Amino acid sequence: MNPPGTVAGAERRKQTSEPLTVAQPFLIQQQWDAYTAEQHAVWAELVRRRMPQLREHAAEEYLNGFEQIGLKEDSIPKLSEVNRRLAPRTGWNATPVSGFLPPDAFFEMLGARQFPTTTYIRSRESMEYTPEPDIFHDVFGHVPMHAHPVFADFLQHYGRVCAGLMHDKDKLERMGRLFWFTVEFGVIRQKGKVKLYGSGLISSHGEGTHVIEGKPEIREFNLDQVMDQKFLVSEEQKVLYAVESFDEIYEAAQEAEKRLS
């Protein structure tokens, strides 16, 4: 693999300026001035609820990313401000979209280092869980990790591999499991402890607590096992896979490409 800051990493970052085509109809502007005081208050409450646990149990790369991209506790982020800090670091942007994307549009965006980001925020009635992604899950849960160079390279590579597998449902399903057990529900061992980095664990107090209380079985990360491991979106996770470093997931995406392409 190419460690952060190498020429190859920089080369990949340069290749991101081609315009989006498949994803184009889903791109929107974030109407930041239209958020109400109540919506900012929901953001603030969600962040304040998560941070005490995350300061102790989140991966240090997540916590560093949170600072680096300038997220605030008391107001919904302005994506243009986030990108002003994020893009110079890794070439990633949090790009506003209208909602769920079809797979080809989603993978096209990942391949271009643009993370599809919803701008809607959940209501007070669904603080713990929202079936549709919202800006809290997308920005608080996902985007801080995009400031980490190896994770940033991994995610783009993942998108490119999947974009090349659009014709094969079974292979895409296996790649979907790699996403689930890393980007959404990934954990990492740091200083002898299991730390959270997956967005589903970061953004959900219930899911995060479930892991910290030692409920799921934590297995060592293994690409074959991960790609075979079925999961249910609607239930708390019974099995998670721990990496020792983020290099492991970058290498897993490369290995997956070799096996599936």
Which spans of this chain sit near Fe ion (rule: CB under 5 A)? 199
Residue in 57, 142, 148, 157 annotated catalytic: 142
Q: Which residues contact 32 (CB under 8 A, 6 or more apart)?
A: 76, 78, 79
Alpha-carbon gap, residue 122 to 120, rounded angstroms? 7
Angle (nearest 5°) at CA 170 between 216 and 227: 30
CB of 137 to Fe ion, least distance (A): 6
Residue 134 · residue 43 · CB < 8 Å: no
Q: Which residues contact 260 (CB under 8 A, 6 or more apart)?
A: 161, 165, 168, 171, 174, 175
CB of 217 to Fe ion, least distance (A): 22
Task: Please say which residue, 115 or 246, places its beta carbon nearer to Fe ion.
Answer: 115
Q: Please report the sign of the dihedral spanned by the C-alpha atoms of residue 88, residue 91, residue 94, residue 96.
A: positive
210: annotated active-site residue: no
CB of 203 to Fe ion, least distance (A): 8
Task: Please say which residue, 114 or 199, places its beta carbon nearer to Fe ion.
Answer: 199
CB of 216 to Fe ion, least distance (A): 18
Question: For 19, which DSSP code?
Answer: P
Task: Please say which residue, 3 or 100, places its beta carbon nearer to Fe ion.
Answer: 100
173: annotated active-site residue: no
Residue 93 · residue 83 · CB < 8 Å: yes
142: annotated active-site residue: yes
CB of 17 to Fe ion, least distance (A): 25
Task: Please say which residue, 119 or 199, places its beta carbon nearer to Fe ion.
Answer: 199
Task: Please say which residue, 41 or 120, places its beta carbon nearer to Fe ion.
Answer: 120
Beta-sheet pairing, 187-190 with 193-196: antiparallel
Nearest residue relative to Fe ion (C-beta) = 199
Residue in 61, 184, 207, 248 annotated catalytic: 184
Longest distance between any two alpha carbons in the chain, whole Å? 50
205: annotated active-site residue: no
Q: Which residues contact 243 (CB under 8 A, 6 or more apart)?
A: 182, 186, 187, 188, 189, 221, 249
- Catalogue the active-site residues: 137, 142, 184, 203
